Structure 1
Amino acid sequence: MDKRIDQIIENLKEVYDPEIPVNIYDLGLIYNVDVDENNHAQIVMTLTAPGCPVVDILMDDVTQAVRAVEGIEDVNVDLTFDPPWDKSMMSEEARLELGFF
């Protein structure tokens, strides 16, 4: 895997939904991370609910986390609700942290 993608994922693990004490990557909110030949990062993500009141904060935090990776020239974050997020998308660690076992 591209080292930049690994670093992007590590940075995304530092981004938290202010309402949930688990990072957005382990919550399963990140659907895809890609970097093209022009060093443009493409992130596809969702939210736990379409009416999330912190959407602007999360989108900005994701953009900043990706931009912080050396070599990334531009970032595009696409928000999607297809498929809709559900608890099964969380990592095992996140489910344990939130008591879903």
Structure 2
Amino acid sequence: MSTIVPEDHPLANAVRKALSSVHDPEIPVNIFDLGLIYEARIDEHAGVHVTMTLTTPNCPMAEVIPGQVEQAVASVEGVSGAAVELTWEPTWDPQMMTEAAKLELDFTGKFDPAKFAAKKPTSLTFNRKERPNR
């Protein structure tokens, strides 16, 4: 779950909005809601230190996303500077996503077989009773 510390800092909402503007191009959800931001800590000089991860250490965007995060946070009016630390501990897990992100990705963890059942038999249906005419 993504956290801004302190939550009541005057810049907290703007930093959250900036972090939410960054997307992993392979996933249609922003990195804040994905839970990739472990913490964004705002210090007494309005500097922001972001600790984040990626969905996998082999992420092809590993060289790009942290830079986008740094630029987005540094561009917030009132922020004196931004630093990004990439970590692999704890390992990212889909359960770290917000409920909104899970719904957007249909990753609720609930399986509804009715959604995936064939509406009528197809040529790939197993155990069919009739053979096609030849």
TM-score bucket (shorter structure): over 0.9
Partner of 1:11: helix, strand, or coil? helix
Q: Secondary structure of the residue that 2:25 maps to in structure 1?
A: coil
Provide the C-alpha distance between the structure 2 equivalents of 1:6 and 1:81, rounded to a whole number of angstroms: 26
**What is the TM-score when the length of structure 1 is the normalising length?**
0.95
TM-score, normalised to structure 2's length?
A: 0.73
Q: Which runs of 5+ in 2 are unaligned?
A: 1-7, 109-134
Rg larger for? 2
Classify the secondary structure of the residue corresponding to 2:64.
Answer: helix
In structure 1, the residue corresponding to 2:101 is in which secondary structure?
helix
Question: Larger deviation: 72-81 or 21-30?
Answer: 72-81
- Identical residues among aligned pairs (%): 46
The aligned counterpart of 2:31 is 24
* DSSP-derived class of the 1:3 partner: coil
Matched position secondary structure for 1:56: coil
Runs of at least 4 residues of structure 1 off by over 2 A? none
Match of 1:64 in 2: 71
Which residue is equivalent to 2:98?
91
Residues 5 and 34 in structure 1, CA contact (< 8 A), matched pair in contact too:
no
Distance across 1 between alignment mates of 2:64 and 2:97:
21
